[in-house]
Structures are given as C-alpha cells and as structure tokens.
Amino acid sequence: MLQTATLNTVCNEYHVIVGALSNVFEQMTLLRQQELAQVLLGYLKQRHASGSTCGSDTSSLSAWLEESFGKFSIYVDYKDLREINTGFDSFEALDILSTSQVAQLTLESGALNSAALINMVFERLEHGNSFQNIEEFFVTLTQTSQDLDINPVVRDIMMNRTFTIISLHFADFVTDDWVSWFTVKLNPLLPSLTAEMLQTATLNTVCNEYHVIVGALSNVFEQMTLLRQQELAQVLLGYLKQRHASGSTCGSDTSSLSAWLEESFGKFSIYVDYKDLREINTGFDSFEALDILSTSQVAQLTLESGALNSAALINMVFERLEHGNSFQNIEEFFVTLTQTSQDLDINPVVRDIMMNRTFTIISLHFADFVTDDWVSWFTVKLNPLLPSLTAEMLQTATLNTVCNEYHVIVGALSNVFEQMTLLRQQELAQVLLGYLKQRHASGSTCGSDTSSLSAWLEESFGKFSIYVDYKDLREINTGFDSFEALDILSTSQVAQLTLESER
C-alpha cells in the first residue's frame, strides 16, 4: 500500500505520509516497521537517482532524517543514509544515528583505528540506556562480514569503556548472557581484557559460566602479550583455588585430567605451577598427567615426584619431552629444573640416563651454537648432569668449537671434577689433550702465546691437567721447556720434568 501511495507523490506529500505513519509507529509489528522502512528508503533512492534531494541540501541532518524516515530511520543502514545524503559522511551525524547505524559508521569511518573517533562513538553510546546501546552496537559490529582489524590502543579504549558499562549488570547475568557476551560480542576486544576485569567478571560466576569465559579467552590467547597471558592465568588459578577451598571441585572429580585442564585453564595452563595443579586436583599426584603438562610443569613434576631417583620415571619424563620440538622442550625443561632453589640430588644412574638422552637431542644442534649457547648449556642447563658426560660426548661437543668455546666447556667440567670417577676424569683429560694437539697442529695456539703458564694450564685443562703427561704439555706449549713451570705441575709431571731435564 505504501509503495502504491508514494508512487507519484512529490517530496512534501511524501513527508506528510512519513509523519502520519511515524505517529502510529509503536502500534505496528516489528516486521511491519522494517518493511515500511525499506519502502521509504526505496522512494528516496529513486528521488535521489532522478536528481531530487528531497530536502537533503537545505535541512539540518536531524530535521532531514525526521521528515524523510520518521521513527523508521532506525531500520535504515548507515551506508544507505550516506548514499542519499552526503551529510552523513562525517561524525556530525553521530547524535542522530541509531545504535546500529553508529556501529556501521564505526566500521565505515576508520574509527577502529582512531582513538579520537572511537571515544566520540562511546560518548554517543553512553547517552540513554548505555547497556542496551552497547549491546546493540556489538551485535551489529560482530555481525559484519568484514574482518575487524582493531588498533590495539583503540581496542583497549573500547574494552575499558564497554566493561565499565556491562560489569554493572554482571549480577543479573545468566549463563546465556556470559555465552553471548564473551563468545560473541566481546570477542574482538578480549585480547585487551585485563586481570582486574577478569577478577570482576569471575567474582560470582558458577563453574560452567567460568568455563565459558576461559574458553573465550583461550581462543584469543595468541593475540595477547606474554605478560597479559601470565596475569590472566593467575586470576584463573585464584578462582579455582577459591572454589576448591569452598568445597567445589569445578569438574575435577568427574572429568578426565586433560578435559579438566582444558576447561579450567585453556591455553593459560602453561603458566600454572605443577604444585598448584596438584593442590586443586589430586589427579595430578601421579604420572598419568604427564602428557598434558607443559614442559615447565613436567620439570616441576620431576622435582616433586622423586623422578630424579627413579630410572623408570625419568625415562617416562624424557619420552614426553621427545614429543614435538624436542630441543625446545629439553631447553625449557632444564631452564625450569636449574632455576629451582632446591638441591638437585640426582641418582648417578638417573643422571647417566638424563645425560645420554639430553645429549642425543642437543648434539644435533651443535653446528648452530654460538658462544652464548655453549655458555648457557654447559655452565647452567647441563651443569647438574656434567659428571655423566662421557669422553665420546666431549669429543662430539668440542669437534667444531673455537678456543673460547672450548675454554667454556673446560671450565664447566672442571667445576664438577670431584663428582666424577677417576676413570672418567682420565678419559676426559685425553679428549682435552687431543683437542689442543689438533689445534696446535693446525697452527692455533689457543692462548699458549699470550697467557701466563698457570692461566693457560687452567683454561686449557682445568683440574684435568694432573692427568696430562709433561711431554705433552711441552709439545703444545713451549713455555714448559723450563723450570718456571715447576710450581704449577702435578707431582707426576714434576717427576717427568726431572727426568727430561737431566738429558
């Protein structure tokens, strides 16, 4: 009927019809309102195409919108308004747009990359029923087919101003509200959720609502900074500890460990200490949880479980570490293991197993090692295992090292000299000697021409020097030709010097 009525009307007659329909707008069904809005839009598009502005060049934007659409304007897309009235190209129209149109303006205008513009948008949304406005805004924003590429600074502003409004209503939220807000409406902003916000959000949630929030945050985990990930993990842990203290298991007594870990922490579980997992879920008392723990948590389990004194358990640990990126896993494992304040009292048999399996993995990467890597591995990460380093391993490790890297290895081994068997000490001494002889043969002095004899002996052999024959020392460093070296020689070497010097 409206189509027929407006078919041949001029603008002022059209405005009469719009005004009359607008007066009975509330008495119409939603569908009728939407259908009539499209007819009105069709009329104005047709007039615009024929060159008639229907008042768009003379009226204020608000007056034009009122006489052109009346209350039906809320069902007109912003892009259509902009098409038939160029005045809508700017933010001057913000106050007269519906919430849905404001969302479309936000998408079209580049406001998602402008702190100034997004603040103007939120000042508009905060007028009237701010919660309803924010909700409608995000419904429209998240229904768009275009990718929401939001500048991080703008995203922070949006998250802060949105959370301030919606958090006042959390007490009235039911499960569906948590699902709707955290999995859909807030989804583009979640990487900006702070620990304080998460604390507020989870304050009065029941377990299944908490799980919804965790799942939503886990989906945007990679978009967060490392610090943000760690901060949120502590809030999640705090929630579960509080629930545990009040007698609520939050699924820990019914789910499999992997399912419980996923729904309780999501991807944030990697930042939770093993001892905390064990506190809130007794299932983590055993090695059954090994496959679902992070590398850091595996290291903590190793320390807590007595695996350092069990060949069977330590082999299980290394089977877990060898899955995926074994080198990265081993590295993270030893970083955690060596940062502990407790004394690493490792059974020698277990230490041998750890050294063998670790060396098999890291030796494949020796060709890519720079000096810092040798320092990191031999003075820190491998330090608890070094008494189990074999002559064959040392041969492999020193194969392509330059002198200063060799000296790092010697220093590290010398620090654990007393923990080695006599046979191991002697075997390693021969490898060190072989390295220096090879360097000497190739013309490299490895410091023999610059250091004092005692300094050279220390950095070249460390405590292993007592097992090197005097004639070998003299061969690779001519400084040992005289009695100046007497004070730094072992008793055996002094005897050899005595014999040599009489000839």
pLDDT tens-digit map of 328-386: 999 999 999 999 877 788 999 999 999 999 999 999 999 999 999 999 999 999 999 99
- Span 149-163, pLDDT tens digits: 899 999 999 999 999
What confidence category does residue 191 fall into, taking pLDDT thresholds of 50, 70 and 90?
very high
DSSP output for 119-152: HHHHHHHTSSSHHHHHHHHHHHHHH-SS-----H
pLDDT at 344: 87
Q: Which of 172, 176, 197 is nearest to 185 (CA)?
A: 176
Amino acid at 183: T
- Give the burial class of 152: count Cβ atoms within 10 A of its Cβ; 0-12 exposed, 13-18 middle, 19 or more buried: exposed
The answer to which of 232-236, 251-255, 276-280, 407-411 has the lowest mean pLDDT is: 251-255
**pTM assigned to the model:** 0.74
**CB-based contact 409:376 (threshold 8 Å):** no
Chain-wide mean pLDDT for the chain? 90
Distance of CA 58 to the CA centre of its chain: 55
What is the pLDDT averaged over residues 240-267? 86
Q: Give the residue carrying structure tokens 């001892």.
A: 275
Distance CA 19, CA 461 (A): 99
pLDDT for residue 297? 92
| Residue 75 binned pLDDT confidence (cut-offs 50, 70, 90) | confident
Mapping DSSP to helix (H, G, I), strand (E, B) and coil, where does residue 194 land?
coil
Nearest residue to 267 via CA among 303, 301, 223? 223
Higher per-residue confidence, 297 vs 51: 297
Query: Whats the size of the chain, residue-wise?
Result: 503
User: Closest Cα to residue 146, out of 103, 178, 177, 97?
Assistant: 103
The answer to which of 99-108, 188-197, 248-257, 342-351 has the lowest mean pLDDT is 248-257
**pLDDT at residue 252, rounded to an integer:** 66
Please tell me the number of Cα atoms within 13 Å of 270 on its side-chain side.
Answer: 12
Distance, in Å, from the CA atom of 76 to the CA atom of 79, rounded to the nearest integer, reads: 8
Say what the pLDDT of residue 387 is: 97
With beta carbons less than 8 A apart as the criterion, state whether 499 and 475 touch: no
Residue 284 CA, distance from chain mean position? 24
* Tens digit of each residue's pLDDT (9 = 90 or more) over 439-492: 999 888 787 666 688 888 889 999 998 999 888 988 888 777 666 666 777 788
Looking at residues 267-281, what average pLDDT do you find?
A: 92
Backbone φ/ψ region at 217: left (φ over 0), alpha (ψ -120 to 50), beta? alpha
pLDDT score of 104: 86
